[in-house]
DNA sequence: GTGATTTCTTAAACTACCTTAAGTATTTTC
DNA sequence: GAAAATACTTAAGGTAGTTTAAGAAATCAC
């Protein structure tokens, strides 16, 4: 569990005792490549912290087309927050893109930490805020930029991700077809 | 200030004494149509609660094109959160689309309420969370839907907004040109 | 209330991106 | 290590949405 505790410590001030309490509330889970952690329309019973590996979160539209919403490599969180916090059915699916080690927490334990560990509340507030800011940026970028510009921006912002993730998922994240991304890339080389 | 206090009361449980404390920290401001509340690149010194009127929040891209990020009518908040909370320079502009009455708060008073009024913290947490959920939905919609579908969804979700806001701003919010929105509308009638 | 400004509409030419399809490269499976 | 499945590329034809431009309608300013 050291990756998660390390991430907590690097984000907020927290005592070793409290770290132990946190640690006890999480479950270590292994997922094989292509395995699903969450299915659309089910309840999101857990949130996931990726210690090793890579996850993708995606939605499926009315035509059955998948749209990648986000990726999570080491030290990133995944989960359908709205489903988890409001106990609604999920709009997203989560799938492992590599064999992955994650630490997950259920709602009961989450509420317990929120009640008992002020530093955990601070931690989640920072996480949620950063997510809010990142989403705001992404909305503005989607309105402002062409596909080519969005791809360049993605490469700059997540240089390591583009090595690990199949191109077709990156295309989906950018809102374009894999064929068009492939063409953009071949045009970039010239 | 009754609109703001009413909104607080309808969102969280809060005592009348605490409501008075909150009330004292906000400033009533009037803005004329077309007046700016915040300019890009300045610090967002205040957040704004719209009591009467309508505001738009927009970003300007490298080509000088404006992109509407959000609208705020009665009982909605506006502000560049990242700039306000992190004391960075703003990436958004905010402008009144009608003569508007807003209640605004600066960072100092905000911090004071966060320190002293637990119900205010709950209130802001709910606001931020709802914003997070709404942004997530919007990102998925932008990936999944065509312009026509996004327009229909906008009409359904904000039926009153479409009456008040010039079409060109709605087009910008949807990520299309006003000319194309006009064409979509004329095709819809047939 | 009239002129000036802004917003909306229409339409033709254009471009970014999609669809389909077929071929190649890569990875997975046993 | 060969067969099968998956991922990537290329290219032709198609469509959604843009650009430009001009006119009509609505709103603003005095």
Residue-level pLDDT at A189? 80
Chain B residues inside the 8 Å CB shell of A128: 128-129, 132
How much is the average pLDDT of A143-151?
A: 96
Q: Is residue A81 part of a domain?
A: yes
Domain of residue B109, CATH code:
2.60.120.10
Residue A122 and residue A35 share a domain: yes
The pTM is what?
0.94
Distance of CA B2 to the CA centre of its chain: 19
**pLDDT for B52 beyond 80:** yes
CB neighbour class for A16 (10 Å; exposed up to 12, middle 13-18, buried from 19): exposed
Q: Is residue B17 part of a domain?
A: yes
B130 to chain A: closest CA residue? A82
Closest C-alpha to B48, from B2, B90, B114, B4: B4
Q: What is the C-alpha to C-alpha distance for residues B167 and B172, in angstroms, rounded to an integer?
A: 9
Residue A67 and residue A35 share a domain: yes
At A28, list the tokens: 């270590």
Residue-level pLDDT at A73? 95
B121 to chain A: closest CA residue? A125
Domain count of chain A?
A: 2
Q: What is the C-alpha to C-alpha distance for residues A69 and B140, in angstroms, rounded to an integer?
A: 7
Residue-level pLDDT at A52? 95
Q: What is the pLDDT of residues B80-136, one digit of tens each?
A: 999 999 999 999 999 999 999 999 999 999 999 999 999 999 999 999 999 999 999
Residue-level pLDDT at A144? 95
Q: Is residue B136 part of a domain?
A: no
Chain A residues inside the 8 Å CB shell of B125: 125
- Cβ separation of A91 and B140 shorter than 8 Å? yes
Distances, alpha carbon B43 to alpha carbons A98, A139, B65, B82, in Å:
42, 21, 21, 10
Residue-level pLDDT at A167? 97
Contacts across the A-B interface (CB distance below 8 Å): 72
Provide residues of A within 8 Å CB-CB of chain B.
59, 61-62, 65, 67, 69, 81-82, 85, 91, 125, 128-129, 131-133, 135-140, 142-145, 172, 175
Residue-level pLDDT at A122? 96
**pLDDT for B173 beyond 90:** yes
Q: What is the 3-state secondary structure (H, E, C) of A136-159?
A: HHHHHHHHHCCHHHHHHHHHHHCC
Q: Is residue B53 part of a domain?
A: yes
Residue A104 and residue A188 share a domain: no
Residue-level pLDDT at B189? 80
Q: What is the C-alpha to C-alpha distance for residues B69 and B136, in angstroms, rounded to an integer?
A: 14
**pLDDT for A159 beyond 80:** yes
Q: What is the C-alpha to C-alpha distance for residues B69 and B58, in angstroms, rounded to an integer?
A: 5
The alpha carbon of residue A164 is apart from the nearest alpha carbon of chain B, in Å, by 22
Q: What is the 3-state secondary structure (H, E, C) of A89-140?
A: ECCCEEEECCCEEEEEEEHHHHHHHHHHCHHHHHHHHHHHHHHHHHHHHHHH
CB neighbour class for B153 (10 Å; exposed up to 12, middle 13-18, buried from 19): middle
Residue A149 and residue A108 share a domain: no
Spanning CA of A175 to C1' of D26, the rounded length in angstroms is: 37
Q: What is the pLDDT of residues B88-98, one digit of tens each?
A: 999 999 999 99
Supply the mean pLDDT for chain B: 96
Name which of A129, A137, A175 is nearest B143 (Cβ-Cβ): A175
Name which of A62, A81, A139 is nearest B69 (Cβ-Cβ): A139
Supply the mean pLDDT for chain A: 96
**Last residue of a domain, which of A126, A159, A178?**
A126
Residue-level pLDDT at A44? 97
Longest C-alpha distance within chain A, in Å? 58
- Cβ separation of B175 and A131 shorter than 8 Å? no
Name which of A59, A131, A138 is nearest B132 (Cβ-Cβ): A131
Residues with CB under 7 A from strand D: A 166-168, 178-179, 181-183, 185-186; B 33, 146-148, 175-177, 179-180, 183
Q: What is the 3-state secondary structure (H, E, C) of chain B?
A: CHHHHHHHHHHCCCCHHHHHHHHHHCEEEEECCCCEEECCCCECCEEEEEEECCEEEEEECCCCCEEEEEEECCCCEECCHHHHHHCCECCCEEEECCCEEEEEEEHHHHHHHHHHCHHHHHHHHHHHHHHHHHHHHHHHHHHHCCHHHHHHHHHHHCCCHHHHCCHHHHHHHHCCCHHHHHHHHHHHHC
Q: What is the pLDDT of residues B8-34, one digit of tens each?
A: 999 999 999 999 999 999 999 999 999
Residue A122 and residue A67 share a domain: yes
Percent of chain A whose predicted confidence (pLDDT) is above 90: 96
Q: What is the pLDDT of residues B154-163, one digit of tens each?
A: 999 999 999 8
Distances, alpha carbon B190 to alpha carbons B162, B183, B185, in Å:
20, 11, 9
Q: Which nucleotides of D are covered by protein (CB under 7 A)?
A: 7-12, 16-21, 28
The alpha carbon of residue A74 is apart from the nearest alpha carbon of chain B, in Å, by 22
At B81, list the tokens: 């959160």
Q: Is residue A132 part of a domain?
A: no
Q: Which domain holds residue A29?
A: 2-126
DSSP-assigned beta bridge partners for residue A58: A68, A93
Nearest nucleotide relative to B178: CA against C1': C8
Tokens 């509407």, located at residue: B68
Residue-level pLDDT at A68? 97
Q: Is residue B114 part of a domain?
A: yes
**pLDDT for A131 beyond 90:** yes
Residue A173 and residue A81 share a domain: no
Residue A31 and residue A71 share a domain: yes
Q: What is the pLDDT of residues A71-116, one digit of tens each?
A: 999 999 999 999 999 999 999 999 999 999 999 999 999 999 999 9
Q: Is residue B149 part of a domain?
A: no
Q: Is residue A190 part of a domain?
A: yes
């Amino acid at each position: 569990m050291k990756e998660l505790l390390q991430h907590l410590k690097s984000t907020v001030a927290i005592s070793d005792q409290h770290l132990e309490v946190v640690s006890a509330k999480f479950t270590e889970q292994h997922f094989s490549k292509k395995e699903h952690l969450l299915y659309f329309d089910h309840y999101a019973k857990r949130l996931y912290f990726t210690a090793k590996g890579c996850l993708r979160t995606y939605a499926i539209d009315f035509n059955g087309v998948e749209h990648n919403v986000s990726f999570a490599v080491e030290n990133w969180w995944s989960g359908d927050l709205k489903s988890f916090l409001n106990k609604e059915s999920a709009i997203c699916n989560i799938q492992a893109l590599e064999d992955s080690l994650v630490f997950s927490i259920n709602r009961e334990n989450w509420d317990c930490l929120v009640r008992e560990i002020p530093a955990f509340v601070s931690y989640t507030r920072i996480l949620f805020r950063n997510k809010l800011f990142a989403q705001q940026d992404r909305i503005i970028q989607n309105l402002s930029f062409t596909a080519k510009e969005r791809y360049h921006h993605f490469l700059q912002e997540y240089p390591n991700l583009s090595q690990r993730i199949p191109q077709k998922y990156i295309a989906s994240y950018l809102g374009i077809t894999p064929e068009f991304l492939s063409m953009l890339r071949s045009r970039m080389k010239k």
